[in-house]
Amino acid sequence: MPENNFDERIAKSYEARWPELFEPAVIDPVVSFLADLAGKGTALELGIGTGRIALPLSKRGVRVHGIELSPAMVAELHVKPGAKDIDVTIGDFATTRVNGAFKVAYLVRNTITNLTTQDEQVQCFQNVARHLVPGGCFVIEVYVPELQRLPPGQTIHAFAVTPTHLGFEEYEIANQVVFSHHYWMVDGQLETFSTPHRYVWPAELDLMARLAGMTLRERWSNWERQPFTSDSRSHVSVWERTP
Applying CB under 6 A, among 42, 58, 111, 121 the residue interacting with ligand SAM is 111
Size of the site for ligand SAM (CB under 6 A): 20
Q: How far apart are CA 52 and CA 56, in angstroms?
A: 7
141 binds ligand SAM (CB under 6 A): no
Q: How far apart are CA 165 and CA 169, in angstroms?
A: 13
104 binds ligand SAM (CB under 6 A): no
Closest CA to 237 of 210, 216, 208, 214: 216
Nearest approach, Cβ of 96 to ligand SAM (angstroms)? 7
52 binds ligand SAM (CB under 6 A): yes
Residue nearer to ligand SAM on the CB measure, 150 or 176: 176
Closest CA to 201 of 172, 180, 176, 171: 176
Nearest approach, Cβ of 2 to ligand SAM (angstroms)? 4
Please choose, out of 45-53, 75-83, 125-133, 226-234, the segment that lies near ligand SAM by the rule CB under 6 A.
Answer: 45-53
Q: How far apart are CA 44 and CA 89, in angstroms?
A: 11
CB atoms within 10 A of CB 62: 21
- For 133, half-sphere exposure in the C-beta direction (CA atoms, 13 angstrom radius) is 13
Length, in residues, of the chain = 243
69 binds ligand SAM (CB under 6 A): yes
127 binds ligand SAM (CB under 6 A): no
Applying CB under 6 A, among 49, 56, 136, 145 the residue interacting with ligand SAM is 49
Applying CB under 6 A, among 65, 109, 197, 241 the residue interacting with ligand SAM is 109
2 binds ligand SAM (CB under 6 A): yes
- Cβ atoms of 111 and 46 closer than 8 Å: yes
114 binds ligand SAM (CB under 6 A): yes
Residue nearer to ligand SAM on the CB measure, 112 or 209: 112
Report DSSP letters for 189-208, one per residue.
Answer: EEEEEEEEE----HHHHHHH
Q: Which amino acid is at 224?
A: E
Please choose, out of 46-54, 154-162, 171-179, 232-240, the segment that lies near ligand SAM by the rule CB under 6 A.
Answer: 46-54
123 binds ligand SAM (CB under 6 A): no
- Cβ atoms of 137 and 104 closer than 8 Å: yes
Closest CA to 74 of 110, 95, 48, 109: 48
- Cβ atoms of 132 and 241 closer than 8 Å: yes
Residue nearer to ligand SAM on the CB measure, 35 or 150: 35
Residues in touch with ligand SAM (CB under 6 A): 2, 6, 47-49, 52-53, 67-70, 73, 92-94, 108-109, 111, 114-115
